[in-house]
Each structure stands twice: as structure tokens, then as C-alpha cells.
Amino acid sequence: MTFLAPWALAVGALAAAGAILLHLVARQRPAAVLLPTARFIADRRSLVSTVVRRPRDLVLLALRVVTLLAAAAAFARPVLAPTRSPIARVVLLDRSAAVASPADAVSRVRTLLDAAAPMRLIAFDSTAVALPFTTATLDSIAGAPVAGGVGSITAALVAARRAAALLAAHADSVQVVLVSPVVASEVDDATSLVRAQWPGALSLVRVAARIDSTSSWSLERAIPIDDPRGPAASALRVAAGRRAVRVRTSSLDAPDSAFARGGGTVVEWNESSAGPMAPAALVVGDDVVVAMLGRSLLPAGGRTVARWANGSAAAREILIGYGCIRTVAVGLPTTGDLPLRHSFQRAVRGLLAPCGSGSSGVLADAATVARLRGSGPMARGSALATGGDRPTPLVPWLLALAAVSALAELFVRARPAPEAA
Amino acid sequence: MKFVELMSPTPYGSLLDSLRGIRWPAARRVAGATLGAHPSRLRGNSSEFSEFRPYRQGDDPRRIDWRLLARSDRAYVRLTTDRATLRTHVLVDASASMAFPQPQLTKWRRACEVAVGLSAVAHAEGDPIGLTVVTEPPVVLAARARRSVIVEMIRALDAVTPAGSAPLAPLLASARAQRIAVVTDLLGDADQLLAGARLRIAAGDEVTVVHLVAGEELDPPGDALLAVDPEQPALRRTLDAATRSDYVRRFSAWLAGTADAYRAAGVRYVRADVSEPATKLVRRIVSGVPARAG
């Protein structure tokens, strides 16, 4: 138990000490003596103060001290504060399809397990779920299949903020550990805003992203090598399947929608509506492609997965059913060495990556990761705590005790004191 | 062994012995006709010649000095100085304030000794002496000149314990004597007593007030105390260092004012500290009165 206003206790203690001192000073009428000329003494009704070694009126003194201390304790606002540990930890475990090896991520999390520190485990993909941070929980997570959804660091951060508020009352500092590959698809426009709400640095434990392995997904059909996208797609595996990536360079039709709803990814890369070629910079994850590119209009809605240098969207994807449809509004030149550039090939592979992989196949850029990581020390518990201290039920009892003592003091004081003779 | 010591239950013998031969002359000629020791207003046929005065019509022819008439052929009347007794009454204040300081009751004992001493001196001159112990109810001994009156007074005084707050003034007014001595501490009805004394003096009587003051009243004990008025127990005042000087100043002022008031009224005012020996005090009282002849 601690006190929110300890100065009240100090004041009460001082007052009690003062009461004891006053009781050591016997202020009373002196011994009565017959004096026929008493009428010539000024009627001041003064009392005589004498210092005694033992406090007088012990019952009265006890009541007064109890009154003062009880009132002081009540006004000191006692609260039941939990035992604080130096650090509390919130671990955000990426369970999206962007993680290449969920077992590896779980093993990273195991290294963070600390029995002495209060901890929370939040597993997230598109949503975040708080789980008890136990070995059994980690075992079950490691054995569970990956859902395959798109990860949302924003949702994870929101959940982390809530969990940290609960842990802050138990710790001086709160550390948030993000175990994730941090792919571009996991970062959205709200991420930076939510991240700004966190008063401290984040610890990033980056694990391998699924994008690192091209064998994890496949194209439904191979892209001709004379296509500008061909060189980049030549490294991709081609295998028809329910979860393959279908690339359409023309308008979509009903089978495409059905394919997407069934869990596949349809990439609509129709260059026929693209504008004239013009120098432009295309940003896909960490890769920037500067070349003569054409632009076309994108339908509203969806998540932006690629942008032009001016910030406007170059590619968007819309979740539909169990899959998604990605629309790429980038016109490619038919001449030049652009298809042979590595940056362009990485950008193309990112744009062709399935939505279900949790990323458009691109790791988040360094600046995004740096903003996500932040700087400075861990967040202080006091900056996060929201009413962690619970008022104790003692306060009304203390006030009642003070009131009863005060009333008793009145009755005791009203008793006629024996007069010294 | 003297008669008084035989008859008295209290040791007044040494006091009476030490007062033997002391006179308490009247302040003025007395009007009494009984032969005594004080000059009388009357001039009669006593053997103590005073002077001759030419005979005036109406004089008693028997007082004409015939020998002088024969020698000078003029009629003169022979005048003599008569002496008379002075009826004296002693009022002793027996209020509670006289029982101070306790437990010795020095003030009361001194008052008794002064009363007995004055009575003895007056009685030795042949004056009828009476006593009133002002208590509730008062103890009154009528003025007598017989030998046992002193013993009776001593017994009366010894039988009284000071208490209450009986007023002195009514008993002063009712005392049948030409000389009245009041032994008191003046802490009762001092103003009424002064008014009564003025009336007695206006009537030609002689009033002596012996004001007894205890040393503890002039200089109370140094420790702080709750002073309680014995005549008014509800009056309680704290006397400490803060109030002491004011008390001394007020009490001294009251003493001075009281003395001035009584003396201005023609009262023989004698202030006495109770620590003063009774013999010395009685001598001071009786000798302070100037003897005025004729």
C-alpha cells in the first residue's frame, strides 16, 4: 500500500507530535490556596503551564493522536499499489503469412521469456490477440498452422498500448518487442500515428520474411520473357494452384473474381490505360525504380502497396474472399534495359507477390523501420499507467475512526477534571 | 500566679503582664459622670482644683470660695476638674478572612490578643469594657467594669472560629460605648463601616480601627496559585508572575486609599502587620492617641 498524498501523513504526524508536546505541558489551574485579598488579583482566568515528564490525560492524548493520524492517513489517499519490477515486456509476435518461419519467430520469443518480469504476449496478423505469456502458449503457437492473413503492425501497436497500460502499474519501464519481418504490407498509414502514441523506443527482432524465399509462392502461368516483367518473373516458380498468383494484363472477368475469392491473388496489370511515358520514380518497399514509366488511374479504396515519388498510389490491392485483387497502374516501357535492373526486378516481384503472403513481397523500407523502432529509452511506466493504483476501502473506515475519536475526545474532555487542592 | 492566668484557657498572661501600667487616654473630654480616669466635661466638687472664675448668676452658691471673698470682697467660684470613666467597646471581626493564614490563623490570634490587650488597658483604668465578636450570630458582651470581664472576653473569643462574612457596620452602630475599637482586616463591609464610623464620630464618640494585614497578603508565596476568597469561595483568581505585580499595586493602592478615607473621617486608623508582637501593637495603638486636656 502506498499513499498518493504522503505530505498529508507528514502533516498528521507533525500534528500528533504537537499534541504530545502539548500534553507534556500541563496547562492547568494551580493549587487552590485561600487568600482573603484574592479580589485584588486581575480576573484573567489564566492557566499555569508546567512541563511534566509524563504526558497528562493519556486517554485524551490517545484519542487526539488517533484522530489526527486517522484523518491524516485518510487524506493521504492510500492506494493498493502492486509490487513494481524494473521492467515489463510486451512481445508482439507476427503470425502473419509474411513470416518465413513461425517456429523461428516463436523461438526468438522464448529467449525473451523472463519469469521475474510481468509480460504480455500479443500474437497478431490482421488482428491482434493478447495471450498469456507462458511456455505452453508458445508451444501451442509453434505447433499451430499459420493463418496466412496480412499482418497489421498498427493493430499490434494498439494492442500493445492497451497491454502496456495494464503492465505499467507493475513496472518502472515497459519494453515493447516486435518480433516480425516488418514487411511493407504490415505498415499502413495509421502505423506512424499509432507509433507516435508510444512514449519510448521499440525493440525490433526481425525474422526472415516469406518474401525472401521465392519458392513459397508461384505464378499460375509463366510470363513471357519478352514481356518487361519477364526477366523478373523468370526467377519465380510457376505452378497452377488455388493459391497461385494470376497475372492479368487485360480486364478482369468473373473467373478471375472467383479465383481471388478462392484464395488466389489476381494481379491486374493492364498497361492499355496507362498514360504516356514520362520520367518517374516508383517506390515499392525499399526499392525505388526511376525510369520512363506510364501512369494510369487506380480505383478508389484498397491498400496502397506501391507509390509514385509524389506519394500517389501506383498499386492497390483489395481483399476479396480469401484472396485479393491487386491493381497495378504502372505502364512499362517496351524498350530499354529497365527489365534487367535488379531494383526493377525486385519491384516487379513485390508487385507480383500474393496478397496472402502478408506482403506484397517487399520488406518495409529502412526509414519506416527506423521510425517504427524510434529512439531513446524504453517507455516509463508512469507515462503509461492509467489508474493502476486502486483506492483502498480503508479510506472511509479511517475517516469514520477519526470522527469517532473526535466525538469521544469531546466527551472525555467535557468530564470535569479533578481540581488540584 | 495571677488571677487571669488561672481563669483563662489561653496564654494571655504574659500579654496582660506586659501591658500593666499602660494608659489609654480618651481623645477628648468625656461626658460621663461616673468617677474614672478620663478628664470629664463636667466641673464639680472634686478635690483636683483647676481655677477660679467670677461668680455668675445661676452658679451654685455653695461653690463660692468664701475665703477669697473675704480677702478680696469679690465673689469667685472655685472650679475643679472632674474625671470620669469611658465606656469602651471592642468589635472583633470574626469573618472567614480573619482565619488566615492557615493553619496558624495568625491574623485571628493577633486580633484576639489586640482585643484582649486593649480591653485590659481600658479595664485597668476603670472603664467599663464590652466586646462584640462579629460572627454569625454575633457574640456580644455588654460593657462592664467588674474584674472578671477580661476572662469572660477571653473565653468568648476562644469559643469562636472565624467563618462567614458577617457585616461590622450594624454592630458598630448598635454598640453602646463612647469609645469603640474595631479590630478587622477591612475585607468585608469596609465602606459601610466607614459610614457608620462617621456617624459615631459625629455623635462625639471615638472610633479606632485596627487594620490587620498579613504578610502573606502583602507578599503572596512565589509559586503560582489559585487564590480563593474564603468569604466568597466562587471568587477564584490565578496569581502568577503575570498577575503578581498588578495585584501588589492594586492592594497597595487599596491600603493607602482605605487609610486616607478612615483618617479623613476622623477615625483613629492603625494598620498593623500580624507579625508585629501584640504587646508592641497595643502600645502603639493606645499611645498614638494624643491626650488632650480640658
- Which of A49-63, A345-359, B118-132, B141-155 is least confident? A345-359
CA distance B24 to chain A (A): 31
Give yes or no for residue A213 having a pLDDT over 60.
no
Let me know: does A215 contact A354? Beta carbons within 8 Å: no
What would the pLDDT profile of A136-173 be if each residue is shown by its tens digit?
888 888 777 665 567 888 999 999 988 888 887 778 88
Q: Say which of B97, B214, B254 has its CB closest to residue A40.
A: B254
Tell me which amino acid residue B19 is.
Answer: L
Q: Do B243 and A30 touch (CB under 8 A)?
A: no
Strands (E), B76-136: 76-80, 83-84, 88-93, 129-134
Distance CA A178, CA A312 (A): 29
Beta-carbon contacts of residue B279 (< 8 Å; ≥ 6 apart): B15, B18, B19, B117
CB contact under 8 A, A38 and B237: yes
Which residue's entry shows cell 459610614?
Answer: B195
Phi, psi dihedrals of residue A356, rounded to the nearest 5° = -65, -10
| Residues in a beta bridge with A176 | A90, A202
How many contacts does A have with B, using Cβ atoms within 8 A? 95
Closest in B185, B225, B238 to A36, CB measured: B185
Q: Which three cell numbers stand for residue B159?
A: 469559643
pLDDT (0 to 100) of residue B140: 92
Structure-block grid coordinates of residue A96: 502473419
What beta strand segments (E) does B17-158 contain?
A: 35-39, 49-54, 76-80, 83-84, 88-93, 129-134, 139-144
Share of chain A above pLDDT 70, in %: 89
Per-residue confidence (pLDDT) for residue B84, from 0 to 100: 81
Looking only at the bridges linking them, the beta strands covering A171-179 and A202-205 are parallel
Interval A187-202 mean pLDDT: 86
Say which residues have a Cβ less than 8 Å from residue A106's Cβ, sequence separation at least 6.
Answer: A93, A138, A141, A142
Q: Does A51 touch chain B (CB under 8 A)?
A: no
Q: pLDDT per residue over A356-389, tens digit each?
A: 554 445 778 888 888 888 888 888 777 776 655 5
Does the distance separating the beta carbons of B242 and A46 come in below 8 Å? yes
List CB contacts (< 8 A) between B227 and chain A.
33-35, 37-38, 41
- Give the pTM: 0.48
**How far is A402 from A419, CA to CA, in rounded Å?**
30
Contacts (Cβ under 8 Å, ≥6 apart) of B139: B131, B132, B133, B156, B159, B160
For cell 467594669, the residue is B145
User: Biggest alpha carbon distance in chain A?
Assistant: 135
Q: Say yes or no to pLDDT of A177 above 70.
A: yes
Q: Between chains, do A37 and B187 touch, taking CB under 8 Å as contact?
A: yes
Output phi, psi for A157, to 5 deg: -65, -40
Task: Compute chain B's Rg from CA coordinates.
Answer: 23
Which distant-in-sequence residues (6+ apart) come within 8 Å of B243 by Cβ?
Answer: A41, A42, A44, A46, B237
Mean pLDDT for the stretch of residues A75-101 = 81
Kindly state whether A33 is in contact with chain B, defined as any CB-CB distance less than 8 angstroms.
yes
Determine whether the interchain pair A30/B221 forms a contact, defined as Cβ–Cβ distance below 8 Å: no
Task: Please classify residue A193 by burial: count the beta carbons closer than 10 Å to its beta carbon, then call 0-12 exposed, 13-18 middle and 19+ buried.
Answer: exposed
